[in-house]
A and B are shown apart, each in its own frame.
Chain A
Amino acid sequence: MCLGVPGRLVETYVAHDVLMGKVDFGGITKQVCLEHVRDAALGDYVLVHVGFALTRLDEEEALRLLELLESLKMADELEAPSP
């Protein structure tokens, strides 16, 4: 229920004084309320829940985790007992 789906912001517009936009979820585009992620620029990834963008995803933090995972994988290979 608290599902949050990451998607790429492709268009913004204003409807009834509220900032809206179109967000691409791997090929499917949906209309999303952007009123609370006004710092998101076209091309940014936003986290969407029930048609409402909760936040802009932080690319640097995403990279941090991926780098950590790479180093863990390396460590795991080094530590794995030889067959």
Chain B
Amino acid sequence: MKYVDEYRDGEAARALVAAIARAVTRPWVIMEVCGGQTHTIVRYGLDELLPPHVELVHGPGCPVCVTSLEMIDRAHAIASEPDVTFCSFGDMLRVPGSRGDLLSLKSRGRDVRVVYSPMDAVDIAAANPGRRVVFFAIGFETTAPANAMAVWLARRRGIANFSVLVSHVLVPPVMTAILQAPGNRVQAFLGPGHVCTVMGTAEYAPIAARYRVPVVITGFEPVDLLEGILMTVRQLERGAAAVETQYRRAVRPEGNPASRRLLDDVFEVCDRKWRGIGAIPKSGFRLRHEFRDHDAERLFDVGAIETREAALCISGQILKGVKKPRDCPAFGTQCTPEAPLGATMVSSEGACAAYYAYGRHREVARA
């Protein structure tokens, strides 16, 4: 497939690994921000191809993982209402909340549906005027334009029975939180390629300058990641801390201006709680007041929510790059993708789930 196969070329990957080995003289710790990048790295074993001086740590960029337990419990409570049709991206359905996951509600006869696009949920609402249709709007800046478009479209089409439960999160504030956390090891970032396709690259310049960290906006195929690592290592070795873009076929410095305008019309920045990490100021989006008639958080009074996380889980430290899945005694034993204890095992893009999917729990067992 064009724009995919050429970036999985083994010969090009080997040449890039050799170039990284020539460029590196000292140990460096680099965090890839996105869960999609983590998945590619572990799937192709890129971290194991790199010279020992280059350590990759896995970032918080998995929206399914970091969606707070409170929000999952709220979704569960809303989806339990008999007149609700609850629509979600597929990977949210199996995330365990305090009272079970959304999939188990479906098996108990509630109307829980997987949609490919939030705009499909608007069509479901239009076709079922007797149902209250709620879409679980999670994701980073990449997903926000599609979710904003669904809300905007519902208002324009006058579809009053459509609402969204918004739990959007933003990348720059969590990068700052990681750099400020005690015990931080991250010296550079592979930045979020698709987030920057929407938002552009300007908001990363203050982070690079203030914390003296290179930020290289990187794509998601093996060759993209290796080129991103090469660009990062070259910056680190010469003492630079700039924002550069590896993923130039998709990212323009200004992002997508039409998307940014729509986001600004529909959403406003708010404080947000991250599963495994905690509250981060100004790290999310919520609906603007003008769209309150489509705001599920306002429309559904689900009462007080009390949550409980597994005490054993170290996902917070993994999401901040302080620890690796192998450092967790529960990894692959008490905690598996079938019965996850916490954030990084719940989605296939979480670091623990990626390590498990590609057999790395067996290495732990052998060690």
Which positions in A face B, CB cutoff 8 Å?
1-4, 6, 8, 16-18, 25-26, 30, 33, 35-38, 45, 47, 49-52, 54-55, 57-59, 61-62, 64-66, 68-69, 72-73, 75-76, 79
Q: A-contacting residues of B (Cβ < 8 Å)?
A: 1-4, 6, 9, 11-12, 14-16, 18-19, 34-36, 61-64, 89, 91, 116-120, 139-140, 142-143, 145-146, 149, 153, 156-157, 192-195, 197-198, 220, 223, 227, 248-252, 256, 258-259, 262, 347, 349
A-B contact pairs, 14 of them (CB 8 A): A1-B64, A2-B139, A2-B142, A25-B1, A35-B149, A47-B197, A50-B116, A50-B146, A54-B250, A54-B256, A55-B256, A69-B16, A69-B223, A73-B15
The B interface, classified by DSSP as helix, strand, loop or mixed, is helix
Q: Which residues of chain A come closer than 8 Å to B192, judged between CB atoms?
A: 2
Nearest residue (CB) in B for A8 is B2
When chains A and B are docked, how far (Å) is the Cα of A8 from the Cα of B117?
Answer: 18
**Measured between alpha carbons, how far is A52 from B100 in the docked complex, in Å?**
31
Given contacts A8-B2, A36-B259, A61-B249, contact A50 B118 (CB under 8 A): yes
Interchain nearest-CB distance for A45 vs B (Å)? 6
Contact, CB under 8 Å: A6 / B146:
no
A47 to B3 alpha-carbon distance, docked (Å)? 10
- Min CB gap A31→B, angstroms: 8
Are B117 and A50 closer than 8 Å at their CB atoms? Answer: yes
A58 touches B250 (CB 8 A): yes
Docked-complex contact B15 and A76, CB < 8 angstroms: yes
Q: Which residue of B lies closest to A54 (CB)?
A: B197
Interface residue SS majority, chain A: mixed
A25 to B63, CA, bound (A): 25
Q: Known contacts being A16-B153, A65-B249, A69-B223, is A1 close to B116, with CB within 8 Å?
A: no
Q: How far is the CA of A62 from the CA of B62 in the complex (A)?
A: 26
Specify which chain B residues have a CB less than 8 angstroms from the CB of A30 in the assembled complex: 116
Interface contact A1-B139, CB-CB below 8 Å = yes
> Please, how many angstroms separate the alpha-carbon atoms of A38 and B195 in the complex?
19
Contacts of B249 in A (CB 8 A): 57-59, 61-62, 65
The minimal Cβ–Cβ distance linking A28 to chain B, given in whole angstroms, is 10
Q: Contacts A38-B258, A69-B223 hold; do A18 and B153 have CB atoms under 8 A apart?
A: yes
14 additional contacts (CB under 8 A) given A6-B2, A51-B117: A2-B34, A2-B36, A4-B220, A6-B4, A18-B153, A25-B1, A36-B145, A36-B256, A51-B118, A52-B149, A54-B142, A55-B256, A59-B249, A72-B15
